Amino acid sequence: KCRLIACEEAWTIPEVAAELQKVARSPTQSLDKLLVKGIYDADHDTSGYGKMNFLNGLLDVEEQRLPQMDEYGVDMHLLTLTAPGVQMFDADTATELAALANDRLAEICAKRPTRFAGLGSFAPHSPKRAAKEVERVMGELKLNGLIVNGHTNGDYFDDYRFWPIFEAAEALDATIYIHPRGPSDTLKGPLQDYAMDSAMWGYGVEVGTNMLRMMASGLFDRFPKLRICVGHMGEMVPYFIWRINFMNSRAQKVGRAPKTERSMEEYFRDNFVFTTSGVEDPLALRYAIDRMGIDNVIWAIDYPYQPMKPAVDFIENFACTDAERHALCHGNAERVFHIA
Ligand SMILES: COc1cc(C(=O)O)cc(C(=O)O)c1
Ligand SMILES: [Mn+2]
C-alpha cells in the first residue's frame, strides 16, 4: 500500500474564526464576505455555507479528522490555515494571528509527526514582518512551507512590495502554496452571482490571474529557485498552457508584454507544482501528468470542503504506473514540503 500524504488540508483556530466573525459583520465589500458570513457567522448566513457546517471540520484535528484518516488509510494531512487566512485583517492583527496559528500548527505537528505536517501563514500586507515569519516558520518552528490565499487588498504577487517574502522563501527552499480566495474588488464584476464567487469558478480565475501575472512579469527571472504550489489541478492553467504560451510569446515579440528569460510554459513547469485538490476527475489528472510531468503533480483531498473517502477512492482507483503512484501519493510531497 502506498503512503498517502494529502497536501491541501484546511484547518483553523478559534482566534482566527472569531476575528473572521467580526469581518462577517463589518462593512467590507470583499467578495470573500459571502463565504466568511456563512462559515463564521452562520446565524446571518445568506450564502448557504452555514448549512454545510465546515467550521467544526476546520477546528478539529483529533475528533473526526484523525479517525477518518485511520479508517481510509490516509497517512498524513499537510495542514493549512484555511482561506482567506489572515488577509482580511489589518496588518498588525494579521501578523499576530498568523504567528499564533503557526505556533499552534507546530504543536500539532510535534505531537503527531507521522500524521501531520503544516504550512505556515504570514501577513502579505506587512512584507518585511512576513519575511521574518517565513524564516521563523522554516527555522524555529520546523514547518514544511508557507500558505497564502491569492491577492491581498487587491494587490497581486508581481508587485515588488511582496518580493522580500519571495526572497526569504527562495533562500530557505520553502514552497509557497497559493490557495484561492474570492476574486479581488477589481476582478469580482460578474462573479458575484450563482455561487460563482468561490470554488465553482471565481477561485480559479483569481489564482490563475495571480499565476499569470507572476510568470509574465519576469518574477521567476528574479527568483529562479522560488517554488510555488497551487491546488485544484493547477487552477485551469495546465489545460490552457499552449494558448497562454503562444499568446504571451507573440505579445513579447510585438512589445506588448515584457521580455522574459524563459517562456510561460517553462516557468509553469520549472517553478510550479500543483495538487489535485477538489478535482476528482481521472481524465483531468491523466492530462495534467502527461502535459506537465509527473514530478509536478501532488495528491490532495481539500478536507473538510471535500469529503475524505471519495478523494481516497479517486486516487486509489486512478490508472497509473507504480512510479507515478509513488510520486503522486507521497514522493513529490516529501520533496516539495520536506516531509521525512
Ligand atoms: C475557503 O473555503 C473554501 C470553500 C470551498 C467549498 O467547497 O465551498 C472550497 C475551498 C477550496 O477549494 O479550497 C475553500
Ligand atoms: Mn482548498
* 170-179 residue pLDDT tens: 999 999 999 9
> How confident is the model over 240-261, as pLDDT tens digits?
999 999 999 999 999 999 999 9
Ligand having the closest approach to the CA of 38: 1
Ligand having the closest approach to the CA of 47: 1
The verdict on the CB of residue 195 being under 6 Å from ligand 1 is no
The verdict on the CB of residue 199 being under 6 Å from ligand 1 is yes
Q: What band does 76 get if pLDDT is binned at 50, 70 and 90? A: very high
**Complex ipTM:** 0.98
Ligand having the closest approach to the CA of 82: 1
Do β-strands 146-148 and 176-178 pair in parallel, antiparallel, or remain unpaired? parallel
Q: What band does 1 get if pLDDT is binned at 50, 70 and 90? A: confident
Q: Are 243 and 266 in contact (CB under 8 A)?
A: no
Mutate which of 36, 53, 305 for ligand 1 pocket (most atoms within 8 A of beta carbon)? 305
CA proximity to 108, closest of 136, 141, 75, 148: 141
Q: What is the DSSP string of 6-28?
A: EEEEEE--HHHHHHHHHHHTS--
Mutate which of 11, 81, 147, 302 for ligand 1 pocket (most atoms within 8 A of beta carbon)? 302
Say if pTM beats, i.e. exceeds, 0.95.
yes
Q: What is the per-residue pLDDT for 257?
A: 98
The verdict on the CB of residue 278 being under 6 Å from ligand 1 is yes
The verdict on the CB of residue 162 being under 6 Å from ligand 1 is no
- Asked if pLDDT for residue 195 goes beyond 90, the answer is yes
Positions annotated as catalytic residues are 302
Q: Identify the residue whose cell numbers are 482566527.
A: 16
Q: Which ligand 1 atom is the nearest neighbour of the CA of 39?
A: 2
Do β-strands 297-298 and 272-275 pair in parallel, antiparallel, or remain unpaired? parallel
Helix, strand, or coil here: 31?
coil
Q: What is the per-residue pLDDT for 158?
A: 98
Q: What is the DSSP string of 245-285?
A: HHHHHHHHHTTSS---SS-HHHHHHHHEEEE-TT---HHHH
Supply 3's cell numbers: 503512503
The verdict on the CB of residue 198 being under 6 Å from ligand 1 is yes
- 120 beta partners: 146
CA proximity to 304, closest of 58, 51, 52, 45: 58
Supply 184's cell numbers: 479581488
> How confident is the model over 204-233, as pLDDT tens digits?
999 999 999 999 999 999 999 999 999 999
- In angstroms, the Cα distances linking 266 to 160, 210, 262, 269, 313 are 22, 17, 6, 5, 33
Q: How many whole angstroms separate alpha carbon 98 and alpha carbon 92?
A: 10
